[in-house]
Chains A and B, each alone.
Chain A
């Protein structure tokens, strides 16, 4: 139990106020909030709060947990997560066996906790492919979700089924939003997800008391609102049609666009270009390989080296329109030609009429007449 605020803990740990404020600003940035919100975040983190977390691993590889543990980033981030009182996490908690189960049940009973799910959940005939502590993963999920404040599905497996969901899906794997219908669910897909986004979502929760705005796939908009393609540092190369066509070629060495090498940036929503992985070390495109769309449902069907579908649904009006050949006379030309023609014909008509209606006065010389 905690009575001190995150800020106080930070101070005790020797983190300067300046670094703390920097963290608050960074969180505002990640959450796509205006900079003025940094103050609000600071206030929230200065208030003593407690947010218990139950972290359940289902059919997973623990990669999302590993990602979390790799956060060597601003210590304050670590603090936030530390301070979250992760009451149950199979990989990192010290307890095991019945002791661990009891701790979990106690937390569930107390309520008010955040339920984090990692890994896909087998259902139907395959329900018992994943059993923990004698219960199926599905049962575990349903029990734990009952008293949760919100459910966060981290990683593509928990959000969309992930690799186990791929055909033929031998374990009948399913995912959180297909199972939990009566609680707010937030998906943080990715393979792995980016832990910075979890930190930011938690900060949001602590500051505003609710989950951030999400799209229709339950993904928070601050992290999944725009495409990789739209924020990609190599976008300029795409627009200039400078593409890598073979690994190691001149374009690859110059950091050109990887679209022709199968990059799925154009169809993937994620904030990798902005926050990068491993505390800002790198991310796939920066390392020279195209995005594989790991935060999208069924991404494995796209094929890593197939070209992403760039089709727009409504091209912008900035394109030059097709012109169809027609004969036309513009009004000005028609007017002038008509006026000239009218004048010419009118004048000629009048003159002709006058000349031809008069008796013919010209006479031929007499010699000519005789010859005719």
Chain B
């Protein structure tokens, strides 16, 4: 299929700006390591976590598309989903790579970052420790899962066979670890019942974060697959999208039920009716991130090839707002000091994401990420 083989000489127009942004991001990252967090970021004692943590909290469920697809494919049969597993795992791998780099840049004593792995230091009560361990292991699993894409191109057949033999354990561990740390991201905030705005804090945070990660991952998959198939002019598997959309709507409804149930149970509904900024943000998040996607997915538009795509877009916006509020906007602090990311923080983040796109595009271009259509039904 000609569509799959690209001319090696023609570099797409997006390459150069992405490269520039990536190099800028890398340079600024080095600057941050040299001068410290104070001069390079706007984080302060009242807002110790900022944009990078927000992006991490957003990218992890998005990159969790990898685990969501793995999970669903095992239950619903690889034939329907195998075509999307590779792109999903690659997105996961790159996403977690960006998260790892941003986390490394975020911690102040980065020369001792390996302390999170030292047995004598590990605090199993701390969800931050759990997340660190999970992410470390999960990144390793993603490396193993994506390795065949590279190994087959370079002709290392033996390692591929080892991976295929152990794939059940590898993928299984990936699924378990992923579920674990998606919910642990929510558990992080269990330690701040009084500091986080009551419309967002609930003892059910781990469950809410997990469900959100599932539907966000599905949404990301719908978006990524739709874009890539559209760009490569491959035929669309509408049944695939329908199933993604249905799975998404179930999780969205569960999420909505728990969220609203918690608001009612904790008598927080009056907070939604007050004319203040936080009530407004809660409404926006709910309408854009839950109601709008459900509106698309529960109608006949779920069968539309772009239905789950747009539902995913809105769900992702809603997830972003949620993670933004939880990481710094919703904090109660005894100070008039506020936080808005510095341009260096923004450009480092932009640079890393640009690098991610660059890498993704390179892999799509030079490696076999998608099956040849003839093999699609074997």
Contact surface of A with B, Cβ cutoff 8 Å: 322-330, 332-334, 336-337, 341, 344-345, 348, 351-352, 355-356, 360, 362-365, 367-368, 371-372
A333 touches B334 (CB 8 A): no
In the complex, are the beta carbons of B304 and A356 less than 8 A apart? yes
Is B288 touching A368 in the complex (CB atoms < 8 A)? no
B236 contacts A by Cβ under 8 Å: yes
For B332-352 the 0/1 string (1 means CB < 8 A from A) is 111110111000000000000
B301 A356 Cβ-Cβ under 8 A? yes
Cβ contacts under 8 Å, A344 to chain B: 317
Complex CA–CA separation, A356 to B305 (angstroms): 9
Q: How far is the CB of B174 from chain A (nearest CB, A)?
A: 29
4 A-B pairs with the lowest CB-CB distances in the bound complex, closest first: A323-B334, A330-B338, A352-B310, A325-B332
Which chain B residue has the least Cβ–Cβ distance from A351?
A: B310
Known: A348-B310, A352-B313, A356-B310. A327 touches B331 (CB 8 A): yes
Given known pairs A348-B310, A356-B306, the reply for A336 and B340 (CB within 8 Å) is yes
In chain B, positions 224-277 with a C-beta closer than 8 Å to chain A are 235-239, 277
Across the interface, do B340 and A368 meet the contact criterion of CB distance under 8 Å?
no
A368 close to B235 (CB less than 8 A): yes
B329 within 8 A of A: yes
Q: CB distance B329 to A333 under 8 Å? A: yes
Contacts of A351 in B (CB 8 A): 310
Q: Which residues of B contact A360 (CB under 8 A)?
A: 303-306
A selection of 17 A-B contacts at a CB cut-off of 8 Å is: A323-B335, A326-B332, A327-B278, A327-B330, A328-B338, A329-B329, A333-B329, A341-B288, A341-B321, A345-B288, A351-B310, A352-B310, A356-B296, A360-B303, A362-B238, A363-B235, A368-B377
**Which residues of A sit under 8 angstroms from B237, Cβ to Cβ?**
364, 368
Identify which of A336, A341, A352, A368 contacts B239 (C-beta below 8 A).
Answer: A368
Q: Is B334 within 8 A of A341, CB to CB?
A: no
Specify which of B239, B305, B333, B377 is in contact with A325 (CB 8 Å cutoff).
Answer: B333
A98–B305 alpha-carbon span in the complex (Å): 131
B residues in contact with A330, CB < 8 Å? 338, 340
| Cα A362 to Cα B306 with chains together (Å) | 10
CA distance A363 to B238 in the complex (A): 8
A324 B307 Cβ-Cβ under 8 A: no
Partner of B195, one of A325, A329, A348: A325
Among residues of B, the one whose C-beta sits closest to the C-beta of A332 is B340
A341 contacts across to B, CB distance below 8 A: 284, 288, 317, 321
Q: Contacts A326-B332, A368-B237 hold; do A333 and B278 have CB atoms under 8 A apart? A: no
Give chain A residues whose Cβ lies under 8 Å from the Cβ of B301. 356
B residues 85-129 near A (Cβ < 8 Å) are none
Q: Is the CB of B317 within 8 A of A333?
A: no
Apart from A322-B334, A325-B333, A333-B340, what 19 extra A-B contacts exist at CB < 8 Å?
A: A325-B195, A326-B332, A333-B339, A345-B288, A345-B317, A348-B310, A348-B313, A352-B296, A352-B314, A356-B306, A360-B303, A362-B235, A362-B238, A363-B235, A364-B239, A365-B235, A365-B373, A368-B235, A368-B377
A334 touches B296 (CB 8 A): no
A327 to B332, CA, bound (A): 4
Residues from chain B with a CB closer than 8 A to the CB of A372 are 239
Residue of A nearest to B321 (CB): A341
Q: Is the CB of A367 within 8 A of B304?
A: no
B368 CB-CB contact with A under 8 Å: no
Min CB distance, B94 to chain A, in Å? Answer: 22
Closest Cβ of chain A to B229, distance in Å, is 9
Determine the distance from Cα of A325 to Cα of B309 in the docked complex, in whole angstroms. 41
How far in angstroms is the closest Cβ of chain B from A368? Answer: 6
Which of chain B's residues 296-325 have a Cβ closer than 8 Å to chain A?
296, 301, 303-307, 309-310, 313-314, 317, 321, 324
CA A132 – CA B332 in complex, angstroms? 78
* Distance in Å: Cβ of A318 to nearest Cβ of chain B: 18
Judge whether A326 and B333 touch: CB under 8 Å: yes
Interfacial chain A residues near B310, Cβ < 8 Å:
348, 351-352, 355-356
CA distance A127 to B373 in the complex (A): 126
- Assess whether B82 is interfacial by the CB under 8 Å rule: no
A327 & B306 in contact (Cβ 8 Å cutoff)? no
Asked, given contacts A356-B301, A364-B235, A364-B238, whether A329 binds B277 with beta carbons under 8 Å apart, the answer is: yes
